[in-house]
Amino acid sequence: MTKITELIKKMTLEEKAALCTGAGPWTTTPIEHLGVPEMTVTDGPHGVRRSEDVTAFVTKSVPATCFPTAACMASTWDVDLIHKLGEALAEECIALKVDVILGPGANMKRTPLCGRNFEYYSEDPYLAGQMAVSFINGVQSKGVGTSLKHFAANNQEYQRSTISSEMDERTLREIYLPAFETAVKQAKPWTVMCSYNKINGTYSAENHKLLTEILKEEWGFEGLVVSDWGAVHDRVEALKAGLDLEMPGPRERRVKAVIEAVRSGELSESTLDESVRRVLEIVFKASETKKGGSFDIAGNHALARKVAAEGMVLLKNNGILPLKGQQSIAVIGRAAKEAYYQGGGSSHINPTRVDDPFEELQKLAGNARLTYAEGYLKDEGNDQTLIDEAVKNARSANVALLYISLPASKESEGYDRPDLDLTRQQIMLIKAVTAIQPNTVVILNNGAPVVMSEWISGTAAVLEAWMMGQAGGGAIADILFGKVNPSGRLAESFVSKLVDSSAYINYPGENGQVRYGEGVFMGYRYYDAKQIPVLFPFGFGLSYTNFVYTNPKASAETFKDVDGVRVSVDVTNTGKVAGKEVVQVYVHDNKSKLARPPKELKGFAKVELQPGETKTVILKLNFRAFAYYHPAYKQWITEDGEFDILIGASSADIRCTLPVTLQSTLELPSILNRDSTMREWVEDPRGMSVLAPLYQLLNAQMSANFGSNEIGMDPIGFLMDSPVMSLLYFMGDAMTTSPEELVDEWLAKVHATD
């Protein structure tokens, strides 16, 4: 710190301004005479996209391992495995001379149409937060930095650079910020990247509340805030808001604008110095890790295969899988020979190698005869001859494997999906093949959910293989032939049809705004509350074995919020093969002042079990597991009362329920005001103590006035949900003081101790 303080004193205003803007597309500005090196960053998050020429914005990248995308990573529900993936990414960064990798992406999957959903973890903030923590800790354990992105509420590609995400404070705090908050507090990323969009009318890059008040002051973020590439509109306002580093560079006019703003007094030099300090600290931290050398190409490819297999989700299986003893297998679909393993855009990796799915099948198929048919075109066109050939092969085989991948035109960074469908040719292909071959397995390669109602009933099995990374072809073969028991679980709900999705009527927005009208009821929270059936629920996934949950326990039936509670359950593998189960813990609040979702994920653990083996899974639920954000108090609160702790295999498959009672330790200030209703006064301990002498009088007065019920009114209901000030007017001559004066007197007593 002393070294950096002295450096800042030696820097000219011009050098300070230049340091806060990139020197090029991927590097920061060095100051050679002061010994300040440049720092190199590169795209991620599922591979190192290191440009051969860091001075060029778009150029060929050097070979690196293409790991599965975030949608697949999150479906592993395995924090230890994601930590190992982070370590491997860091080792490749070191070898390729990269200081900071731009990832992970912790944005919520608000709508399944978002073209960039393959880069994001989940529709649930708790799961996304835990994945982000493991990724960041893995990378930074090796002395390489991360950039947590895109902060915040960047949940669609449609008009992403200008759209304003309009939402209330509670929705922002409970759904769209927690994954970032968890990652910042628990993993301390070196950098946080702001998003392109506006939040409630203010660009993220210029949002003081977001970047300074919440991120830096409230959460204690100590790193630097970097812009997404081209997200800054007003450099001076961005600096005032807490945006430390603008990328990409060079931006000569931006630098001059900062210099002029300081000289004119528009921008305090101390504000600029603070950003300079943050940039210097990360630049010097990055320089401590020696760069260069090589990385384990084969080892990382094997790790990519493991992650892919752990993240693939078996959605349907009538017993056809794992494949055993088939004499002939019809392999159908372009994706069987042209692996579809990553999405388009800034995360596109130049892989070290790519497994050919068909060849990987051949390696494990033994003496089975494999045939191949293309099945569908690369784009969205139709060709009946391809379907006819596929049907012919399927008819003469014991089993058909349909490899189905979405075309790049359907999902990518930069634009949203037009629908949740496969192409028309692919749907026709699946229906034609399943009509003559009941033993048909569909393998899906996509970055986000697809609807299946039109064709799934005819299939024997469906495997969600995601954008699976360069080794995904081998991972599919491992699962199909039982070398790996599938253990992936969905990190997002699969709806039956697009209109069921929680954001449907509030997407994509209009007049430059998208209203988050569903509030905190997003994803499975919405489907639970509305009792809308989904095709596959959040947390769902099949295995080749079965698991039984027994002996659920809570460490206390009654506990204080600050102490939390431990939950345990015994899980037994009752099948004949080893497997992994994901134990999921949800919390249901039986009664709260504000509406809450029926259940929310608050803990999970992935456990491996041999046949007949039992293990006890123990999870700790803390204060935040039971709290919600109350906008009137401007903080997270708990309330005395009963909760249900739900332990299950998915959000829709709850195996055990534990009733517990929480005792809140919070001493909240009163939020009563002139407009507060009788119910609000009665439910407020201080309000009731002040109001008690008159409560019975008001009650009696209302009963007398409306006792005959001639106008069909429930006097008590009217009493409780009417403002106290309004009720006082009904007392007539019994009042010796005006209602306004009396209510103000009561409020003074109530707030005297706040």
Asked if the model's pLDDT at residue 211 lies above 60, the reply is yes
Distance CA 28, CA 451 (A): 44
Find all residues with CB under 8 Å of 552, minimum gap 6, and list them: 567, 568, 569, 647, 656, 657, 658
Q: Which amino acid is at 560?
A: K
Whether the per-residue pLDDT at 710 is higher than 60: the answer is no
Using 50, 70 and 90 to split pLDDT, how confident is the model at 682?
A: confident
Q: Work out the pLDDT band at 73, boundaries 50, 70, 90.
A: very high
Nearest to 341 by CA among 150, 118, 157: 118
Q: Is the bond preceding residue 508 a cis peptide, omega within 30 degrees?
A: yes
The pairing of strands 100-102 and 145-151 is: parallel
For 600, list phi and psi in degrees, rounded to 5. Answer: -140, 135
The H or E element containing residue 719 is helix 715-720
CB 333 within 8 A of CB 402: yes
Q: pLDDT value at position 89?
A: 98
pLDDT at 698: 66
Q: What is the mean pLDDT of residues 432-439?
A: 98
pLDDT at 688 exceeding the cut of 90: no
Q: Which pLDDT does position 704 carry in this prediction?
A: 64
Which CATH topology does 2-287 take?
TIM Barrel (3.20.20)
Residue reference for tokens 């959903």: 117
User: Which entry of 43, 99, 228, 589 is annotated as an active-site residue?
Assistant: 228
pLDDT of residue 323: 97
Quickly count: other Cβ atoms within 10 Å of residue 32's Cβ: 8
The greatest distance separating any two alpha carbons of the chain, rounded to the nearest whole angstrom, comes to 99
Q: Is-catalytic flag, 561?
A: no
In angstroms, the CA 448 to CA 148 distance is 21
Which neighbouring-strand residues pair with 345?
A: none
| Mean model confidence pLDDT for the chain | 95
Question: In terms of CATH architecture, what is 547-663?
Answer: Sandwich (2.60)
- The pLDDT score that the predictor gives to residue 585 is 98
Domain boundaries, the chain: 2-287, 306-492, 547-663, 678-751
Report the alpha-carbon distance of residue 474 to residue 520 in Å, rounded.
Answer: 39
pLDDT band at residue 248 using 50, 70 and 90 as cut-offs = very high
Q: Specify burial of residue 50 (Cβ count, 10 A radius: 0-12, 13-18, 19+).
A: buried
Name the pTM for this structure: 0.96
**Cβ proximity of 425 and 381 under 8 Å:** yes
The CATH H-level (homologous superfamily) assignment of domain 306-492 is Glycoside hydrolase family 3 C-terminal domain (3.40.50.1700)
- Of the chain, the percentage scoring pLDDT greater than 70 comes to 96
Q: What are phi and psi of 702, to 5 degrees?
A: -65, -40
Q: What is the pLDDT of residues 521-552, one digit of tens each?
A: 999 999 999 999 999 999 999 999 999 999 99
- Provide mean pLDDT across the span 131-140: 98
Tens-digit pLDDT profile for residues 304-326? 999 999 999 999 999 999 999 88
Q: At residue 1, does pLDDT exceed 70?
A: no
The reported pLDDT for the residue numbered 737 is: 78
In angstroms, how far is CA 722 from the centroid of its own chain? Answer: 41
Q: What is the pLDDT of residue 325?
A: 85
Tens of pLDDT, residues 478-514: 999 999 999 999 999 999 999 999 999 999 999 999 9
Per residue in 395-423, pLDDT tens?
A: 999 999 999 999 988 888 999 999 999 99
